[in-house]
A and B are shown apart, each in its own frame.
Chain A
């Protein structure tokens, strides 16, 4: 990637990012980019290194090697970070005894913004009624909204949100989806949203960056991920024989929790023909039109990660 391409206004770039905690490589040579004008999902099972990656890009943690940049520079070198980038890292960054409004006013002062912005941000996230109450009484959903309000104070052109749907009710999720789509589609802002559940963001994002064990698994359009082969599902009393019969086809055969086997790398016709030739009894044979979530789980599980629990 050429330097000019890297420094596009609002683009987030991770280059060979590595972060080691003691013996553990939390992030391992991770490279990806996030484009302005899109909502990008940053996906991976819990513990995949998403939050650590975001923290490095945001300058809160130093990478062991590699770099994370926004608009071509590291976070600390952004001219006015409070007005360029907004971020929420888990919905817990509040003093419980401080009111929502005072919380925002503290950061208005720090960013050199007028106190009016605090009320505007509260209005935007629908917390005007709760503005004067201490945060300790807030539900998780309200805290998510307040975190978002904090991120939006400086009217940033880049938004990074870590698990923003946590604790939001379905209505809240729909609202968030609309807000993020508006930011990307209408304003051309950069939006990066992390999640450990693909289905939570699949209606919101147009691109995805999938990681597991700190490594990149997939980066690209969500639509292309959808097209990835889900394979063929076969139910047979003799899976070992089937596996042997399919060996010449150079396919990948894996057992499924329900006792059937999944065959990736061949068409249903080819699998059916191989079974018939080898006189293998087959009770079911279908194209595995797996959901995106299954594809996601398979991708991240292939990386050797403990599979995320099905939701």
Chain B
């Protein structure tokens, strides 16, 4: 297993894609922090003051937006193999396909965690400097800010795993990335507002992620953080197993 993990790690570090996606994730996280702090107290903004625990947690949850990038990275890690046919040497050297896919899932989760740590650190730095300048005390422990950031890591890593599953299912790189983003940006928000099916909404991956991190989303009753975490991990497991099974059964392109 160690050789496969090394090989998969090298695949990530020897192309530029990972760095570009990381920069994107950092930019989005920073934007979330800046927007929430700058708009706080502005007329029409219903958010509680910056000193409130809920607001501080919500700002900290900005790092979790990196999941939009980690799901794409997961998709690209696996679909690149099909697109450029590196799947051939990969599975020639290790024909036990289950092991290859497990190595890929682990590396995808690791990349997700790295993205999460960097984005959380960036978020924490901006918060500490800006709120410090405003004279607001951050309750890192008391207000659950640190816990919110740790749960960001779980969300981001899990979405990288989901990305691998989506990539195996769809195979075509562009189609897979587009379907994931359309789902997260269009389909899930639609489900949230359509009366008949909106009961299912809290159990969807995006909503579950919101429940964990405390990022405010809509007015529907949410799951609590632990429930959200379990639901999201369930999605991760589902996609991981689906990807694993398809990879073992289908012919390699």
Contacts and interface: CB of A to CB of B under 8 A. Distances in A.
A117 B85 CA distance: 22
Nearest to B96: A76
Interface residues of A, number: 34
B10 A109 contact: yes
Contact of B251 (A55, A76, A99): A55
Task: Indicate the size class of the contact surface on chain B.
Answer: 20 to 34
Interface in B1-38: 3-4, 6-7, 10-11, 14-17
A106 B84 CA distance: 15
Given A61-B252, A95-B80, A106 B88 contact: no
Contacts of B88: 60, 87, 89, 93
B227 interface: no
A278 B195 CA distance: 93
A47 interface: no
B251 A62 contact: yes
Interface string A57-73: 01111100000000000
Contacts of B95: 59, 75-76, 78, 81
A298 interface: no
| Chain B contact residues: helix, strand, loop or mixed | helix
A111 B84 contact: no
B91 interface: yes
B89 interface: yes
B14 A110 contact: no
Nearest to B9: A109
Nearest to A56: B251
B6 A109 contact: yes
- A60, A89, A106, A110: residue with the most chain B Cβ atoms closer than 10 Å: A110
24 contacts: A55-B251, A60-B91, A61-B252, A62-B251, A76-B95, A78-B95, A81-B93, A81-B94, A81-B95, A82-B93, A89-B85, A92-B84, A93-B86, A93-B88, A95-B11, A95-B14, A96-B84, A97-B15, A97-B16, A106-B10, A110-B4, A111-B3, A150-B89, A154-B93
Interface of B: 3-4, 6-7, 10-11, 14-17, 80, 84-96, 251-252
Given A61-B252, A85-B92, 7 more contacts: A81-B94, A87-B92, A93-B89, A96-B84, A102-B14, A109-B3, A110-B3
